[in-house]
Every structure is written in structure tokens, then in C-alpha cells.
Chain A
Amino acid sequence: MSDKNMPRSYDGPPDYRNVGLHGMSPKTTHDEKSRFNFLAHLNRHLASEILPGVKTAYETRVEPKNPFPNHRNQVRKALLEDSLFQHWSALRRGTMELRQQAGRWVTLRQANELNSKAAEMTKDDPRLVLDANLDIPKYLSSIDHHCMPGSYHDELVPGDVTGAANYDVGIFVTTGGGLGRFSDGGGQAVVQWMQKNRPDFAPKRILDIGGGLGQNVVPIAQAYPDAEVVCVDTGAPVLRYGLARAKSLGVENITFVQANAEDLSRFPDGHFDWVQSTMFLHETSVKAMPKIMKESHRLLAPGGLVMHVEQPQYAADMPLYEQAIRDWDAFYNNEPFWTKMHELDLDQWMVDAGFSRDELVHGGVAAVVDASLFPEHANDDVEDYGRKAAWHIVGGQKSDAVKEAAQ
């Protein structure tokens, strides 16, 4: 392994040791870091070396036997009969399970320290608002999302944050470092979009719905330090961990509230200037989405913006093969609503929630990372479909009737 005689230039995941540490970061041994390194590489290998072969297999031996499919499910079912797709899928599923085991081992072996630290850092802090009586909605309680045992809400002991810590340490592995030092490349991308497209926007109150442990809202709170920021999620462990994590990063303007985004009646109409969701809607349901969208519209102040960041929708011009591969996580990585969510007409849902067509906002963003250490979307030609760090924005800006009348 002589670095003096490297046969080719390196293009791969950075070392896990580049991941940014904060006050809630679990401690990792040498070998635990090595395990994360291996798993990041394995994910990358499956995407860059084997998945292109699955496409060739589809074109050369699957499609000829199953011509003219008219839906992505037909493509997926035909692929399920192909041995290369079977092996790629078995390896991908197995890699996710190894990742969960590796992250859970790290966090559970130090559960006591992590839970005590979170308790100490959030004790009597009014910025942690928990609701022990909140019902976890079925779309979260019926399955463990992305094969993460206990999901965002289960507590192994009172005050548990180990599930949140596991989620935090594992993002590097699943994305091969694509989300940057603090796994916040999505949040940073949203900030960059806002500063470029709405340079004069000065929100006083910002709401992040389904914000989890707040990794994507922290950069927003940093970019708008005078704003009052609220992060809402149904899971107490992620909120506890999130407040402690944000504080340890010196971010003091976020309140973490345990609530269901379908019913945010605790906040009055027009309370927020910006309502944000980042990779959240696909973890809800077709019944929940209209309620979430109506709430978001109701909570928005005149002139304010709602922004939903998700993977691209399955538009008519997206090849059915691509749709079928993007659907993999829906069927085989416990993201059950992913498939339906990506075929919905989000514009129509925004209109049904109260926006007019000319208030709608669209955009595209890719993860913003420290490119000296982490792979950048712009320089990365490996297509990992639903896991690539590039997203679409579907949003709405409420017209400012008062301001317009005055002009």
C-alpha cells in the first residue's frame, strides 16, 4: 500500500476521520472508523461498478423478454427475475444491515454516556419541548425506516438518544461522504439557494418540519442567526439529541418541539416566514400530506416561503428503468411511501393547500460540502439514483397582499 507508487489518481470516499465532531458525537475506536470506511466504499462500489451492469442486463436480456412496459412496477418485477439485479439487491440490502449493526454497536456500547450527556445538556432547557402523549403516526410506527431498528422514536430506556446517534454516524456510510462533514449538505444547499434567489429575505421565524436531529436546519439557523427557528419532529430521541448537538455547535436559536406536522395548532396563523422540509415528505402518507401542506400554508406569513426538498418526481420523461431503480428503497429499504410520493403531482397538492399557480417556486439543488475533503456532486459521475445528493425543490411563496396594496 505504498502511497508513493499509487497506480492511479484517487476518486473515492474520504476517510471517516474527516467527519466533523460535535458535543454529542459518539466516540469511535480505530476499528469502528475502519468499518465505516469499508462500508462507504462498499456502497460506492455497488453504485459505480455493479449498478451500471444491472442497466446493461436490463437492456440486453430483461427488456427484450418483457418489451414495452407501461409502468415502473413491471420493470421492477422483470428485474427481480434477473440474477445480476438479484445479487446487486442482496448486496445492497446486506450493506445497509451491516451499516446499521456497525452504527448501533458504536452507540449502544456507550449508551449510558450518550444518554447522560444529552440529559445534562438539555436539562431544564426551554428549547426542548416534548409531548409524551403524542401518538406516533402509523407511517412511522408500522415499519423501521431505512432498516434502522427503533426508527426515530423508540426508546430502549427513558431518555434514550442512541437511535439518533446511530442515524447521525451512519449518514457518511450510506452517502459515501456525499453530505459533507456534518451531514448537512442538504441544509447548506437550501441556504445557498435562498441567498442566491432571495438575497433580501430576512425571515424572523423559521419552521423545519420532520427535521429529525436537525442536521439540515443547523446551517439555516447559522445563516439567519437573528431568526427564531423551530424544528418539529415526532421522535423524542432525535429532538433531545438534536438540541444537545446544535448547542454544542454553538447554535442557540433552535427550539426542538415534539409534534406531528399534520397538526401544528400550537402555532397561530401566519407565524412563520419560512417553512422548510428536507427529505421528509416521502416518510409520510397520502392521507397525511394534504394536512401537512395545509398546515404549512396556514402557518406562513404573507410574503413567506414554503420549501419542500425531495428527490426528483417520477415525471413522464423519466425512463421507467430509472424509476424502477429509484424505487428500490421503497420496496427493499423500508421507505414504503417513497414510490407513491414520487409519482404525485406536488404542484397540484400545493395548489390544493391554498397556493395559486403563480405563487409556486421550483428549483434544483445539490449538496454543498467542503470540497477539499468530501466528494462534490458536480464532480461526481456515479449515479446512485435515490441516494444521490441532488434534489428538487417544490415550494410556494405567499403573495404579500399588504405590501402589494401599499405599492
Chain B
Amino acid sequence: MTEAIDPLKLAGAKPKGKRPYFLKDPDVERVLAVTMALAQEVAVMRERLDTVERILEEKGTLSQSDIEAYNPPKPIAEARGSWTQEYLARVLRIYQQEIEALDNVNEPSSEDIGHELGAE
């Protein structure tokens, strides 16, 4: 009944409606999209590693089904959530800096200051 469904091909299908691009160069937007998909997969791997560590610490042994069934108690879920927040803050740091710079648009650069300090 569902032979026609190829999940790998259809999962990433384009929705109906022309896709908007926002960045000045669409190629940069494509690279950003690939980067964030990779960031997603790193987070997935990190959570899996955490699951493995928690199970091993508690039981000393490990099976695939232990990993699949793992359900973190609230303090552990919150620790994992905190890690994801830290992780995103690291990955997206450049935006934080740009936002902080908005408060001081006339900030002198090191070059500006160098000229000032070197002036007789």
C-alpha cells in the first residue's frame, strides 16, 4: 500500500510556494542552512553520548534498547537542556557580538586607537 513512499526523498520535499531568500547572496544562505543542519546533528550526537554515559554510570552495561528507552529524570533533562543552550550560544556567538555592538555604533577600532596613540 505504501510502496510509493520513499521517506528519504520525501522527508525533505519542498513545500508549495516560492522559497524566500534573505541574505544578500543566496549561496551564503545555502551554506548557513547546511551549517545549521550539521549543528543539529552534532546536538543529536551529543545527547546520545550523554545518554550512553548516564546508563553506563548507573548500570555499568549498555544495550541499544537501553538507549532507545532512556527517559531522563527532570534534573537530568534540565542539565541536557542547559547544555543545548550553552551550545547554541557558542555556535551563534557572532550574532550576540553583532547585537552588543549595536549599543555602541561609533566604537573606535584598534586601528583608530593605534593612530590616536601614535600621534605626536
Q: Complex Cα distance A271/B8, Å?
A: 47
* Closest A residue, CB atoms, query B20: A332
CB <8 Å contact, B99 and A53: yes
> Is chain A's interface secondary structure helix, strand, loop, or mixed overall?
helix
CB <8 Å contact, B11 and A30: no
Interface bits B46-76 vs A (CB < 8 Å: 1, else 0): 0110110000000000000001101110011
**With A6-B82, A108-B10, A144-B16 in contact, do A56 and B103 touch (Cβ < 8 Å)?**
yes
* Interface size class, chain B: 35 or more
Residues in chain B near residue A148, CB distance under 8 A: 15
CB <8 Å contact, B96 and A108: no
Tell me the minimal C-beta distance from A168 to chain B in angstroms. Answer: 16
Q: Complex Cα distance A8/B39, Å?
A: 24
Residues in chain B near residue A156, CB distance under 8 A: 2, 4-5, 10
CB <8 Å contact, B48 and A101: no
Tell me the minimal C-beta distance from A252 to chain B in angstroms. Answer: 28
Tell me the minimal C-beta distance from B79 to chain A in angstroms. Answer: 4
Residues in chain B near residue A93, CB distance under 8 A: 19-20, 22
* Closest A residue, CB atoms, query B49: A1
Residues of A within 8 Å of B, CB-based: how many?
A: 73
Q: Complex Cα distance A17/B51, Å?
A: 13
Tell me the minimal C-beta distance from A337 to chain B in angstroms. Answer: 13
Q: Complex Cα distance A90/B27, Å?
A: 12
Residues in chain B near residue A42, CB distance under 8 A: 36, 40, 88
Residues in chain B near residue A80, CB distance under 8 A: 22
CB <8 Å contact, A104 and B23: no
**With A2-B79, A111-B2, A156-B4 in contact, do A12 and B16 touch (Cβ < 8 Å)?**
no
CB <8 Å contact, B102 and A108: no
Interface bits A190-211 vs B (CB < 8 Å: 1, else 0): 0000000000000000000000
The contact of A15 among B10, B37, B67, B81, by CB within 8 Å, is B81
CB <8 Å contact, A45 and B88: yes
A95 at the binding interface (Cβ < 8 Å): yes
**With A15-B72, A42-B36, A157-B4 in contact, do A149 and B13 touch (Cβ < 8 Å)?**
yes
* Closest B residue, CB atoms, query A7: B82
Q: Complex Cα distance A143/B14, Å?
A: 11
Task: Please report A residues at the B interface, Cβ cutoff 8 Å.
Answer: 1-3, 6-8, 10, 12-15, 17-18, 29-31, 34-35, 37-39, 41-42, 45, 49-50, 52-53, 56-57, 60-61, 80, 83-91, 93-95, 97-98, 100-101, 104-105, 108-109, 111-112, 115-116, 142-144, 147-151, 156-159, 162, 331-332, 334
Closest 9 CB pairs of A and B: A53-B99, A3-B79, A144-B15, A108-B7, A10-B78, A105-B11, A34-B47, A38-B43, A143-B17
Please, could you name 18 A-B residue pairs with CB atoms under 8 Å apart, sorted by A?
A3-B75, A15-B71, A15-B72, A35-B40, A38-B47, A38-B84, A42-B88, A53-B95, A80-B22, A87-B23, A91-B36, A94-B33, A94-B36, A98-B40, A111-B5, A156-B4, A157-B4, A331-B20
Q: Given A14-B77, A90-B22, list of 20 further CB < 8 A pairs?
A: A3-B78, A6-B79, A10-B81, A15-B71, A15-B81, A30-B47, A34-B44, A41-B81, A49-B92, A56-B103, A86-B23, A86-B24, A90-B21, A93-B19, A94-B36, A95-B36, A104-B12, A105-B11, A108-B5, A159-B1
